[in-house]
Structure 1
Amino acid sequence: MCGIIACRGTTGAADYLMAGLKRLEYRGYDSAGIAVTAQDGSTAVFRTTNRVDSLQTLTNSWEGPELGDAGIGHTRWATHGGVSVANAHPHQDCNQRLSVVHNGIIENADVLRKELSRTGHGFASEVDSEVIGHLLEEAMAHSGDLRQAVDQSVHRLTGSWAFVALDTVTGRVVASAHRSPLLVAQSTEGSFFASDISALTDWVDEFRILGDGDTVELADELIWLHAGVRSPAPDPVSCPPRRQGIQPTDRVDHMAREIDEQPDAAARILDTIGDDIANGALWRSLELAPFERLRLLACGTSLNAGLVIGGAVSRFGGLAHNIVVASEAAGTIVEPGTLTIAISQSGETADVLRAVEEGPRDRPMLALVNNLHSTLARNVDAVLGCSAGAEIGVAATKTFVCQVLVGTGLILSALVEFGRLSSGDAAHLVGELRSLPDRLATATLAARAAIPGIVDEVRHASGFIFLGRGAAVPYAMEGALKLKELTYRWAEAYPAGELKHGPLALVEDGTPVIVVDNGDPRLAGNIAEVLARGGRVVTIGRAGSVVDIPLGTLSPCGPLEAVVPLQLLAFTLAAELGFDVDKPRNLAKSVTVD
């Protein structure tokens, strides 16, 4: 995985592929490549372990035969095999006639590789995806038809895939999907496949989504098969509004800009849903049955947002909640009367999708996503957008804030509708929420003034501890996650009361301990324990803190504004260490493998 684009254009395919890959850079990747038909009947393949710009340089310097109008492209985030040109997509068959790009994981790749090797196929990479091209090669030897070869070969695959195959002899382009997102679109510019509509919005106004078991060929009229049988194409979906500013630049500033956008994003959300919270209208708009308990299903940053949302339903409504790590959801019990909220920024998070797919279908599920056209949004009973807008930095910032705000607003609205929270009390809490944009802005100014000095003191530390109590714990967890993602330093978060149950052994002279101080009186004792062992305490919160910002202790979101200095600590330290803050190593924006 991570990004796919393919085309049969009206002009040179390479230009379309490059523009699409640039649009997909925000997802994160460690290599990139394209394969394009050439006028002499061959395939020109360009691959790199650098950025898409360097791929553009390779195509610009091409001195071979003129490039044609059909091609496929890919940005890869390594799963099988290291980061190398040999492991970069596209992969080819033995005769270099067929080229393939693939998202997902072929679980039986090792078995297939051994079988294919025994029949004379040679492999040039360590990547599971390469077996697809050789399977197609075998099928083509019998049928000579790429579409038939694809339809026959998928029956030998186990796992997940969205792959596109290019036949350089005929210029045909065929794709298949199973448990991995892929879409197709057409316009006067040509016909396209992509894993993300953002790659295509320059050229198309609508698109169609491949379902599990679909095989589609790009042609003047789409040829659509489901389970091997010719079928009508599904209804088209209108493209979302063109997302301005998603084009990455060489500057490492997208994450900084997105942190700065958080007050405006919060204000926009509250302007949209604020009036529908205290009267229950936000909940009623989803047309879901009342719930007696809440199950939050998510990964990573979205899981931390779920912790905040779950805390709100228990604190203000007295209802039980359960936090489920999506990758560990198998076998968990979902009791009657439970609403599951599946949280994912992209709506394509494979762990979440599997948990939804394998969960009980007689229990309602709601998706909280930033992409209303995503796979997750299509596979649940109701959808609520977190309305963060484009976020290019791989490490989530404003999407976290927006998930927390929308999710908490929804919970308050539901509690009013269920009679568990009075409309008057809810209106007071909404007033607290409406103060958040200003509090986020104040926190941003205070953090930008204080964080550089803190970074100077802790830049050589090899590990960090983050602490909080009560509603502050999810924010300590999010702070630790951001530091790990961006600086590649060890960072762990704990409820402060857990210090004496093990983590205190990690504290020595100079160990940075970041405390989200929301005014809990027990924190003073925890801080004293750290200081007694020589730890460097950095407090964020009440008056006198190292980062002095007034935390909203009455807010239904808890101390949400504390996330800003935590984000800026990770960002500033990573930048000082010379790391690519927008594209941290080994991470992808849209994680489409389990």
Structure 2
Amino acid sequence: MCGIAASVGRHGAASRVKAALERLEYRGYDSAGIAARSADGGVAYARTVGGVASLGTAPDDPTTAAIGHTRWATHGGVTERNAHPLRDCTGRLFIAHNGIIENADILRTELVAAGHRLTSDVDSEVIVHLLEDALITAVSLAAALFAAAERLRGSWAVVALDTLTGEIAATAHGSPLIAAEAADGVYVASDVGAVTDRVTEFRVIDDDDVVVLDSAGIRWWGAGQSAPTPAARTVPRSHRSPVAGRHSDHMGNEIDEQPAVARSIVNSLAPRIAEGALWNDLALPPIETFERVVILGCGTSLHAGRAVGGVFSKLGRLPSRALVASECADAVWEPRTLVIALSQSGETADVLRAFEALPRTGITVLALTNNPMSTLARRADAVIDCLAGPEIGVAATKTFLAQVLTGVCVALSGLSTSPRLAPRVFAAQQRALHHAPAAIERALRVWGDIVPGLTNRFAEAPGFLFLGRGGGVVYAAEGALKLKELTYRWAEHQPAGELKHGPLALVGQGTPVFVVDDGDPRLDVSIAEVEARGGHVVRVSGPGPQTSPSRPSTSDALLLPAWGPLDAVVPLQMFARALALHLGHNVDRPRNLAKSVTVQ
């Protein structure tokens, strides 16, 4: 969840690292730091809890090698002494680390007994002292880092700077790192997005490889000895600069982008749905191969996956279930299962750990991610890019919508050749898919006039309830999650039918209750129950807060999308953002959260 950047070049290394950290700061913004070396051997070292912007670099930056870090705290409080980079006893070595060192307490005890001075509370500090010891006998920084890493248990992405030589070494194990070359120097970063303004290609640092950055470029080591350089990968277009917009915050602009994102996805993928073309392009086995579908994800991605799973179960009558990735250690896996693993970053630690526990046979994994070069994408049997483009706001908006639409296109394509799906039903679902961009655009336009009034009305409300039925439940869940993430108020979602089985006790005079209306007439009963207790109901159905969608006749029922009322998520996102801004919160950087969850 933290961000790492490192660079070696003729000059300006610290400035380049700072710029890269600014592009990574959404991954962690509790603290930040840079350690750098100049050609004359001078050392610059700065750490702060004030954010990357407060890390100053000289206008004529003389540094030739630098490493930097932006932190999301796990072990140790948010203080300057816990910020990375961390240094050894001599001041010669500095390291930055992402991940969790599970045996840190044991190593700390050994190091202190051996005379090392550890000055922070973080697990990462043991790495730099292990490196300090290893370098006494090792023939190179790379060999020392390899030896130090052999003592570690857990996950890590580590960059190390030797200020004596100006060398940088890096290694990874269960946490992502990439290396890249540019005209102004060579780079290592935890995400290619850190350097997409400078490079067009990159190389993935595989588990336990070591790379060395120096004036000669990048050298690769594996198993403690020189190794061939892996093939370069092209930076995906989706990783390039985010789109500017009318808002000062990224989240507002990303909400505004959703009609365009939806239109791009439909235009790109919908023509390939029929006759299984998209499905076949992914080299997936025929849909009849599978007897069930399992959705694997966390948070927003899990909600998106549940909407996609509904397409398989409602249209194809394939049993579908959703598993929280962090809670599936004891899951029973049956053969002939299609697993759809969703992760916006493709680096979500809980999803990757669950992936490792899957059976080796009888399971096919489709990765749905916004990063087709990610660890999840490389390990899956098939991968599809959700085509959202860069998303900087920590609370996902357009990536949720993109995951749903991309997954729906794949599901419809898989079912298009199946006798499970009648041609007229398939045609109706295609029409609903093509209508989605316009529906999202209309919701954005109409609710733009409504949300400010709701924000003022509910500004003092201590908590919120979100209800839905059928396909609306996942959007109620996503609406509640967005509100919690951004406003720090409690928010609970429930299937509307469960209201009378306990959650109705939360409703009092003026309690805000958002109802995601998918046209199910039974919602009227739940709404009456809320209003009878004084609750204030906001019926979310796309066009407006008090307008239900027209009840479809039997002949029109097929027009309802099997993935639920996707456009309903737009006003829920807009309201969460507006209320958070009203309360003075940073909507791009909600407290305690980070964008890419690379620790368990």
- TM norm. shorter chain > 0.5: yes
Change beyond 3 A, Cα 1:540–1:247 = closer
Contact 1:26–1:248 (Cα < 8 Å) also in 2: no
User: Once the 2 structures are TM-superposed, how far is the Cα of residue 60 of structure 1 from its aligned partner?
Assistant: 4.0
Corresponding residue for residue 57 of structure 2: 59
Please, which of 125, 132, 142 is the counterpart of residue 127 of structure 2?
Answer: 132
Q: Does residue 1:338 correspond to 2:337, yes or no?
A: yes
d(CA) in 2 for partners of 1:5, 1:68 = 15
User: Which secondary structure state, in structure 2, belongs to the residue aligned with residue 514 of structure 1?
Assistant: strand
Counterpart of 2:80 in 1: which secondary structure?
coil
> 1:278–1:430: 8 Å Cα contact kept in structure 2?
no
Query: Is the 1:472–1:518 Cα contact (8 Å) retained in structure 2?
Result: yes
Quickly say closer, same or farther: Cα 1:242–1:341, change in 2 above 3 A. Answer: closer
Q: What is the total number of aligned residue pairs between the two structures?
A: 589
Identity across matched positions, percent: 53
The letter of the residue matching 2:107 is L
Q: What stretches of structure 1 move > 6 A for 4+ residues in a row?
A: 247-251, 547-553
With the length of structure 1 as denominator, give the TM-score of the two structures: 0.95
2:519 alignment counterpart: 519
Please identify, of 362-371 and 281-290, the stretch whose mean Cα deviation from structure 2 is larger: 281-290
Pairs within 5 Å for 1:382-401 = 382-401=382-401
Report the Cα distance in structure 2 between the residues aligned to 1:544 and 1:105, rounded to whole angstroms.
46
**Does the C-alpha gap of structure 1 residues 574 and 544 become closer, same or farther in structure 2, counting only changes over 3 Å?**
closer
Partner SS, residue 447 of structure 2: helix
Give the SS at the match of 1:217: strand
RMSD: 2.1
Unaligned runs of 5+ in 2: 553-558
2:277 maps to which residue?
A: 281
Classify 1:83/1:248 alpha carbon distance in 2 versus 1 (closer, same or farther; 3 Å): farther
The amino acid across from 1:502 in the alignment is G
| Contact 1:252/1:580, CA 8 A, preserved across alignment | no
1:564 is the counterpart of 2:570: yes
| Whole-Å separation in 2 of the counterparts to 1:108 and 1:423 | 58
Q: How does 1:67-86 map to 2 (within 5 A)?
A: 67-86=62-81
Q: Does 1:217 align with 2:212?
A: yes
| Partner in structure 2 of residue 327 of structure 1 | 326
Whole-Å separation in 1 of the counterparts to 2:541 and 2:59: 55
Alignment CA distance shift 1:307-1:551 (3 Å): farther
Paired residue for 1:447? 447
* TM-score, normalization by structure 2: 0.94
C-alpha distance in structure 1 between counterparts of 2:460 and 2:280, whole Å: 52
The 10-residue stretch of structure 1 (284-293 or 70-79) with the greater mean CA deviation from structure 2: 284-293
Amino acid in structure 2 at the alignment position of 1:519:
G
- Partner-residue secondary structure (3-state), 2:57: helix
For 1:484-523, what aligned pairs fall within 5 Å after superposition? 484-523=484-523
**1:156 match: secondary structure:** coil
Measured in 1, the distance between the counterparts of 2:257 and 2:54 equals 30
How far apart, CA to CA, are the structure 1 residues paired with 2:551 and 2:21?
Answer: 41
Q: Distance in 1 between matches of 2:470 and 2:548?
A: 19
Give 1:83 deviation, angstroms. Answer: 1.3
Q: CA deviation at 1:15?
A: 1.5
Residue number in structure 2 paired with 1:199? 194
**What secondary structure, in the 3-state scheme, does the structure 1 residue paired with 2:237 have?**
coil
For the residue of structure 2 that corresponds to 1:86, the secondary structure is: helix
Residue 248 of structure 1 deviates from its aligned partner by 8.9
Name the amino acid aligned to 2:258. Answer: Q
Determine the C-alpha separation between the residues in 2 that align with 1:497 and 1:422. 30
Question: Which residue pairs with 1:49 in the alignment?
Answer: 49
Q: Which residue of 2 aligns with 1:375?
A: 375
Taking the TM superposition and a 5 Å limit, the aligned residue runs for 1:224-263 are 224-241=220-237, 243=239, 245-246=241-242, 252-263=248-259
Residue identity in the other structure for 1:195: S
Aligned partners of 1:507, 1:128: CA distance in 2, in Å? Answer: 44
**What is aligned with 2:118?**
123
Offset at 1:243? 4.8
1:582 corresponds to which letter in structure 2? D
1:191–1:218 contact (8 Å) kept in structure 2 = yes
Q: What is the CA–CA distance in structure 2 between the aligned matches of 1:207 and 1:409, rounded to whole Å? A: 30
Give the gaps of 5 or more residues in structure 1: none
Counterpart amino acid of residue 76 in structure 1:
R
Kept after mapping to 2: 8 A contact 1:3/1:195: yes
Q: Which amino acid aligns with 1:313?
A: F
Q: Quick one: which of 131, 142, 150 aligns to 1:147?
A: 142
1:421 and 1:548, CA in 2 relative to 1: closer, same or farther beyond 3 A?
A: closer
How many Å apart are 1:548 and its aligned residue? Answer: 6.5
Structure 2 distance, partners of 1:375, 1:221, is: 25
